[in-house]
Chains A and B, each alone.
Chain A
Amino acid sequence: MQALTTRAQQVERKPLSFLESIYLWNIFKGMAITFKHMFKKQPTVHYPEVKREFSPVFRGLHVLNRDAEGRENCTACGLCAVACPAEAITMEAAERLEGEENLYREEKYAAKYEINMLRCIFCGLCEEACPKDAIYLSETFAPSDYSRKGFIYGKENLLIPNPVTHPTEYAAAKGNRI
């Protein structure tokens, strides 16, 4: 029969000779290989002490952004929820009342904004869809939790700290992403 590829090899089924059948030579060859591995560099990153550097385009946990005066950018237009392929985002809009101008940038804002981190695939389409630069993906990832409920992140988890009142926390949350 003609072989389908040139890579096919005939398997040899010769009975082993006495020397081969005490396996010593092959065992020594194997041991030489494992011995060589003792001097190889370990690829392990010792996690809590050393953290792996993410690439500059890493897409981690979402952050709801504020502008330079500490007002929320989000207007609850729903474009991110529409863009989301995993349908992880839900929100409820509300109208900005008198005297809330220092809290919300536009007349409409998201009263409730939830992302289900178990559904989210961290594709970043919400970030691309947002016309107000209100949501972006940060450099951290979702920590583990004991319940499914804990993975539904509300506004209190997502909102970035106020740059006016808490500038250091804001800088830490913003990270190096542009």
Chain B
Amino acid sequence: MTLLALDWFLLIEKLVLIAVIIFASLGIALYTTFAERKVAAILQDRPGPNRAGSFGLLQPLADGLKLITKEEIIPNSANKALFILGPGLAMTAALMTCAVVPWGNKVEMFGRSIALQIADINIGILYVFGVVSMGVYGVMIGGWASNNKFSLMAALRGASQAISYELAMGLSLIALLMLTGSLSLRKIVEQQMMDGHFWNIAYQPLGFLIFFICAMAECNRTPFDLPEAENELNFGYHQEYSSMKLGFYLFSEYINMFISSTIMATMFFGGYDVPFFNEAAHADLGNWLAVIGIVSLLFKVIIFIFVFMWIRWTIPRFRYDQLMNLGWKKMIPLALANMVITGAVILWLQK
């Protein structure tokens, strides 16, 4: 038994945690598609999907079933291996991000203290950035492998858009990291939970705004949905895709939205912190404290997702030159100014 000095309980604990988090992310993304349609409907004075199940709650399952049972077409001239790899990569990259997010405080179970986080790595936010940039490969490879001019154009657009906005995103985060002094997401949350310390949004409102806009661009959400501009590029990078491969592409967008909402809630809105509630003073609640934390985080995430949708159904798509102008000439200078000012203020306060 002592062949490998493995902590088997740790392994099982992490496996369970991974399974739960992955399935929860998928489930939430599934119902985000439903919420998207409902929010769109309500904003446009329509009832929205309401036929499948009560209030249309089974609609996402019906959509999934429809996508799975559709005929799967791989174009003759497509690069088959890459064509299949594309949606898989998009999905994997979308799901991998949730590994470093702290979903809640520690839980006491079976005499063990379990942290509700798959991996508390000290470069947490850098890992998120790395994986999010990988999501571009899904778009890029899928668009190229389709051997279709429209798909290729869309993929190029997607790649250049993601790269442009990642710069501003990173710069806006540097200002935040100057404040926290740590890249670990759990440390960032714990700092925000401390007494006399507000959420990071209070110190970095501009940084948050830039991060939010860039996150929207990263998720290819309207007004930044140029890669899938259906009236300019037919359908975008997934034009040749059908059946569940298309479903994976569409689905990864929703997972991305969920994860980026989580990251924003964690970085700027205190993660699993409950406002005006001192967690340390209520230690007697035990595991319920963690449950309250998870609910609080999910509540913030749901609000973010709603804002994402609200924006999508309000604003039309940017033109390509507007997109690039906004990214390079507006967002990056603003992020740089934010960074310099934050640095100067920190230096001045420390003097």
B127-157: contact bitstring with A at CB < 8 Å (1 yes, 0 no)? 0000000000000000000000000000000
**What CA separation (Å) do A31 and B309 show in the bound complex?**
11
Residue numbers in B under 8 Å from A24 (CB-CB): 209
In the complex, whether A52 has a CB less than 8 A from a CB of chain B is no
In the complex, whether B45 has a CB less than 8 A from a CB of chain A is yes
Number of interface residues of B (CB under 8 A): 17
Are A44 and B47 also in contact (CB < 8 A) when A21-B325, A22-B326, A38-B42 are?
A: yes
In the complex, whether A40 has a CB less than 8 A from a CB of chain B is yes
In the complex, whether B65 has a CB less than 8 A from a CB of chain A is no
Within 8 A of B (CB), among A25-76: 27, 30-31, 33-35, 37-38, 40-44, 46
Say yes or no: B43 contacts A34, CB within 8 Å.
Answer: yes
Say yes or no: B330 contacts A40, CB within 8 Å.
Answer: no
* Nearest-CB residue, chain A, relative to B40: A34
**What CA separation (Å) do A34 and B326 show in the bound complex?**
24
Say yes or no: A30 contacts B314, CB within 8 Å.
Answer: yes
Say yes or no: B46 contacts A31, CB within 8 Å.
Answer: no
* Nearest-CB residue, chain B, relative to A48: B51
**What CA separation (Å) do A37 and B315 show in the bound complex?**
15
Residue numbers in A under 8 Å from B326 (CB-CB): 21-23
Beyond the given pairs A34-B43, A34-B314, A46-B47, 14 more chain A to chain B contacts, judged by CB atoms under 8 angstroms and listed by A's residue number, are A18-B330, A21-B325, A21-B326, A22-B330, A22-B334, A27-B315, A30-B314, A31-B314, A34-B310, A37-B42, A38-B42, A41-B45, A42-B46, A46-B50
15 chain-A/chain-B pairs, Cβ below 8 angstroms: A21-B330, A22-B326, A22-B330, A23-B326, A27-B311, A27-B315, A30-B315, A31-B310, A34-B310, A38-B42, A38-B43, A40-B45, A42-B45, A44-B46, A46-B47
Mark A residues whose CB is within 8 Å of B. 18, 21-24, 27, 30-31, 33-35, 37-38, 40-44, 46
